[in-house]
Amino acid sequence: MTAFTTRPEILGTFGVVTSTHWIASAVGMSILEKGGNAFDAAVATGFVLQIVEPHLCGPGGDMPAILYSKKKDKVEVICAQGPAPAGATIEHYTREGLKLIPGDGLLATVIPGAFDGWMLMLRDYGRLTVRDVLEPAIHYAEKGHPVLPRVSATIAGLADFYRKEWPTSFETWLPGGSVPEPWSNFKNPVLAETWKRVVAEAESKSDRDAQIEAARNAFYRGFVAEAIDTYVSKAEVMDASGERHKGVLSADDMANWRATIEAPQTYDYHGWTVAKIGPWGQGPVFLQALSLLKGFDLAGVDPAGADFVHTVTEAMKLAFADREVYYGDPNFTTIPLETLLSDAYAEERRRLISPEASLTLRPGKLAGFENQYDLTMRMLDAPEAKGGAVYEPTMSHLTEKRGDTVHIDVIDREGNMVSVTPSGGWLQSSPTIPGLGFCLNSRAQMFWLQPGLPSSLAPGKRPRTTLTPTIALHEGRPTLAFGTPGGDQQEQWQLSFFLRYVHHRLNLQEAIDKPLFHSTHFPSSFYPRTSEPGGLTAEANFSAEVLDALRGKGHKLTVAPEWTVGRLTAARRDADGLLRAAATPRLMQAYAIGR
């Protein structure tokens, strides 16, 4: 086991910003120093992350945010998860010869939601202008930024495919025909011009709110939507199915959609109230796991020991099993969350956690949902695809071709806080749209083409996203914002962090730096929807004794290299106004800054 000295928390009273890239974190702090609040800083940081981490997020992606407004004294959710287009029907996709929605290409696209979500946050919670929050992104797109080695490796791995199948992406990501070298200066002038035009259209109005609305219209009802429609209506591109397909997204789809503000789903645990997004994402999995773990003495076990890992893993398996049967867009189906989060249900399910690792998927069978349960289990018993997915957001040590996600936490001196997990529109998602400099998302791959499920494909329906930021209140006071990239692993890594923080009195950095682990037991949310019954990935940071004990409990263990699992960040505001922040050392990318 490699020795590692825990870094101290970042402390401050003016503001703290954490994100998965150092440039973006610095931009967020500069916005606070310019007079913006936490929400302005998050917006600007989000746009810069699209430039400096294009393999993890992009303008055509999606974004859920959980925020606390001091002015409103309220925790709320911004849902910027775009739904399926009007033409995205099960019948259309099956006529195309598909049994699963591919992990990339134009059929994998839903309405891009991130831009509208950022503009909604800016309008209703921030105080700066469209120009203020877009200028840093324009600068780095136009003047350039250092290419991360992982960005270079991702582009190199796709270069031949781009050359043959996606020429617009080849032109964007291999300027002059060459893979950009790590740490070389990389520019995206076409995207810079897109954002400049959005700013110009915004500034055709004099009032700040009118400017923001003009920017939203430029994207969803103006030149951006028109360029997307023109390309998608004609292009027929290769995707993960091995065939070429046309997309179904249209300008009308974009024009008729807007991001929304919702109430969070919450759960009380040992003096804390955890706020998550609803069942259109995997947020309630975290809450269900807490309900199960209430019955265990986690404070009495080693937070890096086998008993801790085993108990938390088995609880997560049960919670994720319920996700498969019951979660989806509540605008389209009844989601029995009250029952799933009840003490009676948790007590019943808790009895299933034994000293031995479970090797079967065990969702609860709720009264009134028997047909839904049976249909789901039959489908999962006969998976349509096998093998690994090069399109699944997961840890970068497994492959350089997989997409992933970014995360941002910001707290300002006024007490405003935001936790947001932007994703989608990765450079490997689909071809770059001509004239815009970015590509669309691949979130539709989370739908099933089996009718009758909460997560079955339907026009206007939100895919069951894996994006899941968190805010936690301590004794009723908004205190903690945290999150991580990582697809289906997001809730798992966040849960380990939170439990260690709550039960073992570690500071933020110590809790983040503890060895991480996650289960691959349940079906992936991403194409080709594979699972590994009993699978458990754990960092080599755990002791050999702990890893051997986990094998002895029946876990099918994969040991990942040291310091490669999870990219957590967190920020906290104490009752006296002291601010704290921390970011993982893993992969040497995340950053915390404050003053």
Question: How confident is the model over 347-373, as a mean pLDDT?
Answer: 96
Question: How confident is the model over 540-554, as a mean pLDDT?
Answer: 97
Contact indicator for 126, 38 with CB cutoff of 8 Å: no
On the 0-12 / 13-18 / 19+ scale of CB atoms within 10 A, 543 is: middle
Length of the chain: 595
Structural domain boundaries of the chain?
268-389+467-516+523-567
Question: How confident is the model over 245-274, as a mean pLDDT?
Answer: 98
Give residue 299's pLDDT: 96
Contact indicator for 400, 356 with CB cutoff of 8 Å: no
The whole model's pTM is what? Answer: 0.95
Task: Please count the other Cβ atoms lying within 10 Å of the Cβ belonging to residue 366.
Answer: 16
Q: What is the pLDDT of residues 494-504, one digit of tens each?
A: 999 999 999 99
Q: How far apart are CA 370 and CA 364, in angstroms?
A: 10
Q: What is the CATH number of domain 268-389+467-516+523-567?
A: 1.10.246.130
Q: How far apart are CA 509 and CA 431, in angstroms?
A: 39
What Å distances lie between residue 548 and 95, 302, 553, 561, 564, CA to CA? 49, 16, 9, 16, 20
Q: What is the pLDDT of residues 141-170, one digit of tens each?
A: 999 999 999 999 999 999 999 999 999 999
Give residue 210's pLDDT: 98
Q: Which secondary structure element, helix H or strand E, spans residue 182, and what is its range?
A: none
Place 1 in a pLDDT band, splitting at 50, 70 and 90. Answer: very low
Give residue 487's pLDDT: 84
Q: How far apart are CA 444 and CA 514, in angstroms?
A: 34
Bridge pairing between strands 556-560 and 535-539: parallel
Lookup: tokens for 559: 């040991």
Percent of the chain with pLDDT over 90: 88
592, 305, 314, 498: CA torsion to nearest 10? -30
Lookup: tokens for 223: 């030149």
pLDDT surpasses 90 at 6: no
Q: What is the pLDDT of residues 469-502, one digit of tens each?
A: 999 999 999 999 999 988 889 999 999 999 999 9
pLDDT surpasses 50 at 436: yes
Q: Quick one: which of 158, 166, 209 has its CA closest to 402? A: 158
pLDDT surpasses 50 at 257: yes
Query: What rounded mean pLDDT belongs to the chain?
Result: 93
Place 382 in a pLDDT band, splitting at 50, 70 and 90. Answer: low
For the chain, the distance separating the N- and C-terminal CA atoms, rounded to the nearest angstrom, is: 34
Give residue 380's pLDDT: 86
